[in-house]
Chain A
Amino acid sequence: MAVDKKFAGYLCTGCGIGERLDAKQLTMVATREGKMASCKSHPMLCSAEGVQLIRDDVAAGNATHVMIAACSRRAKMEAFNFTDIAMSRANLREGVIWLRPEGDEHQETTQEMADDYVRMACAEVRFMTVPSGSGEQSLNRNLLVVGNGVTAMASALEAAKAGYGVHLVCDEGVLGGVYKDLYKRVPFRAAPPGVSNARTAPLPQPEEPGIAEMIAEVQANPRISVHLNAKVTKTSGAPGRFSADISTESGGTVTENIGAIVQATDYKPYDAKRLPEFAYGKTPDVVTNFEMEKLAKAANGGPLKRPSDGKEVKAVAFIQCAGQRSEQEGHLPYCSGFCCTESIKQAMYFKAQNPDCDATVLFDDLRTPGAAGEDFYRAGQQAQVTFSKGKASEVVVEGGKLTVKFKDLILNEDTAMECDLVVLATGQVPNTGPDPYAQLAVDEAPTEEEKEAARRALAVAPPSILNLDYRQGTDLPQLKHGFVDSHFICFPYETRRTGIYAAGPVRRPMDMKQAIDDAAGATLKAIQAAENAALGAGAHPRVGDLSYPTFRKEGCTQCKRCTVECPFGAINEDEQKYPQFNEARCRRCGTCMGACPVRVISFENYSIETVGQQIKAVDVPDEFSEKPRLLVLACENDAYPALDMAAQAGGSTISPFARVIPVRCLGSVNLNWITDALNSGYDGIILMGCRRDDDYQCHFVRGSKMAAERLSKVGDTLQQLRLETERVVVYEVAITDVQRVPLLINDMAATVEKIGMSPFKF
């Protein structure tokens, strides 16, 4: 790490910067005010020659801290990509000349805007340190896979195939999980080429389940240690250095060192006792789809008999969506996504054994997606399974007969059918541990009453699966309906616990084939987490970032805001109640830095100072200048690109008094920045973060929300300073708000014009 900081500035005069702005003036600002030892100009800094200019200075030892005044930090990233030095970028192209109109009357304020951006970039780089990683980690090539079924076995096999070791923790005496009684499985493939589209064309049929073979493969693999009848009783540490206690029913406990974790605990079959309307429990002849597999397995191709009296089944009804897709209390509101093909398969068991058996599937929407799904639906039709669009309301038991009452949705009439056996297509209930934020709710409930309510919620919570020794609870946080992350469409494996990845039906309901594929994806993420932890490098979305948060212990007041607000539960508290950052768990969003009231938390390349000094570096003219200053703190992933794109599109202009600073996440915004800015005479402050409700788009999950909560208290500060509350606003901004972002900035300019300048000018 460079101890001696060598500051060097570079100014690009290309893309109109040289024509629109006074380059000499900018150079002077960089060297005299910005304290750059030099500031070289180049007509096209991003060209090979321009980049070489910088590289030569770095190689000669003349530049360890580089300020580049050119285009947006989002442009020419590949050209200005230097390792081992600190770099800041002054955005003169998109940020200034492309957002400001040409013309002499604008020249003065546009130049002042550019001068400020150079001052800010110089200030930023002066306070940056080149990140060097903690050196805390080493490579651990063992994964912990938790689960007893197909998903867990698939994960273990995939990891082993890539050369990694696996501890597979199964809570039962045998592997196989929910599918261990499977008679056949839904075919994984669609019809091959050459099969015609004719109604009689041969189509894939139910196939051997392959579970026994999979178990044998797992048991034979030398890289996989199977722990049967075992549970994870404690997990501590971080990616690359997890420590897991694996305890068996017999009382023994082993402690294993682990690189990363896959939770593949699948699902629990829905409890059909909650469906009395379908006579489940009243007669053994109403069975669930899971029990149906056992019947089929027992029959093993022979006549399928009903449980009550062993009579051969001549008519069977399948009730789809049993206790699912329903808002009724105790039902599952979602679709389990696997029951349609399961029922088709089971109906085909009857047809294969006895073509005269009536097998009817009562469905609302039949959901057989993809090429394989639709071919299998056709295979069911070929087998002469009856598909009837109808909504079952009741199963009546009378003597030995079952009557299914349903509304025929095609004929639009209430009707009924008689049968020997009813199969309820019940759904998947994710097998997850307690939601950690349910636990926090107890800890943090302000009143005894609320504490009690939270305790009641906790009392019905399932036992922990991972037993994480984390400040923020023992298990993976949950989204809706008990499923765990990810909430992001583009990033399905994002979890809020770095290095721990969910696979299979704990993430979302899914069939066996998808669960096997999902296991591969989650296993890749686990391997990746272990590999990057070994390098001291961050995980998604700041992959490769070597910096991590540190704190000044003597300044810390042990207020716990950082440990509570971290969206990723990365921070524990040590025995003396100081924060313990666990850098491999950290995602580098800076929410802890934003939370800290005494500003003791910082990253080497992003800190209270790197932003605070930019705010201070801006030239604030006096109250009578008619040149207000508007501070814009914008999320670097959404609001900042939107502004860049507004510049690129042309046609938008922004107030020349705005000074925009990109932040990693609005969650990293420290209230002290706001207070300092107000105290030093800024006239308006705009904060732009991502959507923060249930459909949050904040890529650090809760960062934007945390920031909004913190900033709701900024009113007090404004009151103390006797400033108007309109001077600080927080907006939710999306990357598509290309037209809106400039307007929001200009709105603040108009507000300041209306309410007047801040009196706090120095």
Chain B
Amino acid sequence: MTEVVATNETILVVGGGISGMTAALEAAETGKQVVLVEKRPYLGGRVSQLYKYFPKLCFPTCGLEINQRRARMNPNLRVLTMAEVTGIKGDKGNYTATVKLSPRYVNGNCTACGDCEKAVSAEFDDEYNYGLGKRKGAYLPYRMAMPTQYVIDPRLIGTEEADKAKAACKYDAVDLEMQEETLDFPCGAVIWATGWQPYDAAKIQPYGYDRFPNVITSVEFERLADPQGPTGGKLVRPSDGKEAKKVAFIQCAGSRDRNHLLHCSRICCMASLKQCTYVADAWGAEAEVSVYYIDMRAIDRFEDFYAKVRGIEQVKFIKSKPASVVADKEGNPVVHGVDTEGYKRFADTFDLVVLAVGMEPSVDKDSFPVDIVLNREGFIEADPGNGGVFAAGCASDALDVNRAVQHATGAALRAIQVVNGAAGVEG
């Protein structure tokens, strides 16, 4: 059985992406006891799936390396992965959290030697690559995964493949008898950092994401650009592996739209500007990039980056919310619409179309496991009625990484205020 030592001075952090990690680390490094609960088998969340950050074009794994070292070394922090909070009862300063732990089928003995992976042959869609590639049934989710511990896909359990994985392990790390567990433990304050998920692009019917393989989403494009990704960093299109030199970015795909997400996700303009540099870097003078936008929202100091990308000759900007995307005989996507600057119709053919999809909250607003004040888009509003539960990062609004971390750091303080009260420090 997994044991968690906790009291009503413990801070529970729900979600181990960049916001949850930050909130947990900042609180732990201020001397507080923290339990961090993450649904995936590893920490880092969606940030771990990004190739570069805007506007510096630096690498998210660089900061993750620091954060993971902080997490590994901190005695105040307990991390539970493959864990989900299913309920929180009680009041501010005195909660009981219920957490469901899914079996990993690999215990802490794992040395990440990779022998189990070599032993099995079954392959599944790789979630880390948004299904653009395959992974084995025994796998390390990605190279820097923390904990550095393999996972056996539950679909292997009961098959010969699972037995092969077990037999291959020299360290008795594969435990096929592992069961789902449910834990109850106390905590004084909760930081809710469950983040976001990309809006389902298939719902934007006119853009044909579900019909045309060469219409992909911005998060998928990020995996294509990453040298550790399914194409080894080559910008090639899914249908035929052809080099994607002529690329369209459609902004606000499913955002600022009464039929889809009402809100602006804030990051998509900057993300597309960043991805323009991927195309320009990959193909140089041969690159041809079109960005279709309503408003370019390169807010505050990001304006510098917008200016920099505007300076790239191969990138042009068209003020338009395209009407539709169709495919020609060769499978090339064709973007139709009207350029509102001058009202000119266009039908432009590309190798690849990237839909800049918005962020929607990961947790469905209609089945939120705790009683909390949401807005109509499902983001958590700061409200005294939330008691000792505080949102951090994209659970509160669509935020970029820098703002999410900023927000999460503030959330850590608000949780500390509650447990300091519980500990009698306040007053």
Q: Which chain A residues have a beta carbon within 8 Å of chain B's beta carbons?
A: 14-16, 44, 46-47, 71, 74-78, 81, 158, 161-163, 188-195, 197, 325, 327, 333-337, 363, 365-375, 378, 389, 409-412, 480-481, 483, 487-493, 508-510, 514, 517-525, 527-528, 531-532, 540-541, 543-544, 637-638, 641, 645, 648-649, 690-691, 695, 697, 699, 734-736, 738-739
Contact = CB atoms under 8 A, between A and B. Distances in A.
Interface stretch (B67-75, B122-130, B180-188): B67-75
Given A489-B63, A531-B30, A541 B295 contact: no
B379 A543 contact: no
Given A78-B72, A697-B62, A736-B227, 7 more contacts: A44-B111, A191-B376, A334-B304, A365-B296, A374-B256, A489-B401, A738-B143
Contacts of A190: 263, 375-377, 379, 381
A518 B143 contact: no
Interface in B306-353: 307, 319, 340-343
A47 B61 contact: no
Contacts of B302: 335
A372 B301 contact: no
A491 B63 contact: yes
Contacts of B73: 77, 81, 544
A567 B180 CA distance: 49
Contacts of A541: 66, 70
List the 3 closest A-B pairs by CB distance, nearest first: A490-B63, A520-B410, A521-B409
Given A334-B301, A480-B301, A490-B66, A77 B262 contact: no
Given A520-B414, A524-B26, A370 B264 contact: yes
B354 interface: no
B223 to A, nearest CB: 14
Interface stretch (B50-58, B94-102, B131-139, B242-250): B50-58
Nearest to A190: B375
Contacts of A15: 111, 113
25 contacts: A75-B111, A158-B414, A161-B426, A162-B413, A162-B420, A162-B426, A190-B381, A191-B376, A333-B304, A367-B299, A368-B264, A370-B264, A372-B375, A389-B340, A409-B341, A480-B304, A490-B60, A490-B62, A491-B66, A508-B301, A521-B409, A524-B30, A540-B29, A697-B56, A735-B61
Contact of A508 (B300, B425, B427): B300
A158 B144 CA distance: 36
A659 B262 CA distance: 57
B413 A410 contact: no
B62 A162 contact: no
Nearest to B67: A490
A369 B297 contact: yes
B171 A14 contact: yes
A650 to B, nearest CB: 8
B53 A489 contact: yes
Contact of A371 (B375, B401, B402, B405): B375
B18 interface: yes
A368 B262 CA distance: 12
Contacts of B197: none
B69 A77 contact: yes
A429 to B, nearest CB: 13
Contacts of B401: 489-490
A335 B262 contact: no
Given A75-B112, A78-B72, A191-B376, A645 B144 contact: yes
A194 to B, nearest CB: 7
A637 B62 contact: yes
Contacts of A47: 109, 171
Contact of B397 (A14, A77, A370, A695): A370
B365 A193 contact: yes
B131 to A, nearest CB: 22
Nearest to A483: B301
Contacts of B414: 158, 520
Nearest to A690: B62
A528 B26 contact: yes
A736 B59 contact: yes
A514 B377 contact: no
B406 interface: yes
A71 B111 contact: yes
Interface in B356-370: 365
A191 B60 CA distance: 33
B151 interface: no
A527 B407 CA distance: 16
A514 B403 contact: yes
Given A192-B375, A369-B264, A695-B58, A520 B303 contact: no
A505 B375 CA distance: 26
B262 A410 contact: no
B409 A527 contact: no
Contacts of B63: 488-491
A158 B300 contact: no
Nearest to B111: A15
A736 B266 CA distance: 27
Contacts of B266: 369-370
Interface in B33-84: 53, 56-67, 69-70, 72-74
B398 interface: yes
B376 A195 contact: yes
B148 interface: yes
A146 to B, nearest CB: 19
B258 A517 contact: no
B58 to A, nearest CB: 5
B170 A335 contact: no
A367 B58 CA distance: 25
Contacts of B416: 162, 524, 527
B228 interface: yes
Contacts of B382: 188
Interface string B142-175: 0110001000000000000000000000110000
Given A77-B73, A691-B58, A524 B398 contact: no
Among A77, A189, A197, A370, chain B packs the most CB atoms within 10 A around the CB of A370
Contact of A193 (B67, B70, B374): B374
B253 interface: no
A334 B298 CA distance: 9
B280 interface: no
A194 B376 contact: yes
A519 B340 CA distance: 41
Nearest to A370: B397
A721 to B, nearest CB: 36
A338 B66 CA distance: 33
B413 A197 contact: no
Contacts of B31: 531
A699 B374 CA distance: 37
Nearest to B23: A524
Nearest to B70: A543
A391 to B, nearest CB: 11
A481 B301 contact: yes
A489 B302 CA distance: 12
Given A334-B300, A543-B70, A648-B143, A524 B426 contact: no
B412 interface: yes
Contact of B409 (A16, A492, A532, A637): A492
B303 A334 contact: yes
Given A520-B414, A641-B65, A697 B70 contact: no
A523 B416 CA distance: 12
Given A374-B263, A541-B66, A337 B410 contact: no
A327 B311 CA distance: 13
Given A334-B300, A334-B303, A735-B59, A637 B65 contact: yes
B417 interface: yes
A491 B409 CA distance: 10
A207 B93 CA distance: 31
A110 B63 CA distance: 33
**Residue in B112, B303, B401 whose Cβ sees the most chain A Cβ within 10 Å:** B303
Contacts of A162: 413, 416-417, 420, 426
A583 B212 CA distance: 60
Contacts of A697: 56, 58-59, 62
